[in-house]
Amino acid sequence: MLNGRKIIVVMPAYNAAKTLSKTVAEIPRDVVDEILLVDDDSADETVRVANELGLKVFRHAQNFGYGRNQKTCYREALKSGADIVVMVHPDYQYSPHLIVPMAGMVAFGEYDAVLGSRILGKGALIGGMPVYKYIANRFLTLAQNILISQKLSEYHTGFRAFSREVLENLPLEENSDDFVFDNEMIAQAVFFGYRIGEISCPTRYFEEASSINFSRSVRYGFGVLNTSLKFRLHKLGIARSRIFRQRGQKLLPDYYKEMERAEKKSV
């Protein structure tokens, strides 16, 4: 807890059994009130390891995708009374030690959302980020800064902190269930006027760290550009997009019942 705000760390997990213990060991438990893990139907021992570590665990009945995983993470964190939610990937790519300053920037009212940037400073390439990913990151970030009129150092980090207000008010259910969810969420936060801060974050690339392959990276890149174009066209009143509607679908209040109904309809 910081400044009287309850802090919950959420971990969207998929086949993270090899790195989960390392990640959890560095989470500052004197500040973090609860750790919540959502497993997207992993094929390894992620759930067993999470239970042994004493985490609050939810498991999807099937693999729904990274974006859907985050939706569950945020919904369950809000149900648990979180004032600040910090997303930490369980693959040990980002440093959990930075949870405190990131959460603090939200807890003391400086920002509504904070991103752990791998690009600020010189940590990305030193930490092993592939050169092609670094170049793509810089190109996409430049394009997005132009299209949505921001000056962020990167939009693609998986280390983020959000206030409760942001998570309750963004139309997150309108977003993709795939990797571009991350990018849509930042674009929404900008569109609806939330303050976004950044902090320099070292990163680690190694064999066990999760990473999407080249073909999915390309698809993600086109999704990012599409999101930014939607933002600009919506702002100009040329074309309306559901993800930027004030009345767009917020996080579903009862995800698992909604999921069950959807499954019955598909039978």
pLDDT at 1 over 80: yes
Q: What is the pLDDT of residue 186?
A: 96
pLDDT at 159 over 70: yes
Neighbours of 261 (CB within 10 A): 11
Q: What is the pLDDT of residue 219?
A: 86
How far apart are alpha carbons 266 and 218 in whole angstroms? 30
Q: Which helix (H) or strand (E) holds 12?
A: strand 7-13
Q: How far is CA 145 from CA 11, 190, 226, in A?
A: 28, 11, 14
Kindly report the average pLDDT of the chain as a whole number: 88
Nearest to 92 by CA among 33, 176, 159: 159
Kindly list the structural domains of the chain, giving each domain's residue range(s) and its CATH number in brackets, ordered by start: 7-266 (3.90.550.10)
Number of continuous H segments (helices) and E segments (strands) in the chain: 10, 7
User: How would residue 257 be classed by pLDDT, with cut points 50, 70 and 90?
Assistant: low
How far apart are alpha carbons 229 and 103 in whole angstroms? 31
Q: How far is CA 165 from CA 7, 113, 136, 234, in A?
A: 14, 10, 32, 23
User: How would residue 252 be classed by pLDDT, with cut points 50, 70 and 90?
Assistant: low
Q: What is the pLDDT averaged over residues 104-122? A: 91
The answer to which of 8-17, 25-34, 89-98, 250-259 has the lowest mean pLDDT is: 250-259
Placement of tokens 């991350």 in the chain: 182
By DSSP bridging, strand 7-13 and strand 160-163 are unpaired
What is the model's pTM?
0.87
Q: What is the pLDDT of residue 187?
A: 96
CA-angle at 204, arms to 100 and 138, nearest 5°: 95
Q: What is the pLDDT of residue 267?
A: 37
For 196-228, how does the pLDDT look when each residue is reduced to its tens digit (9 = 90+)? Answer: 999 998 887 656 555 566 677 788 889 999 999
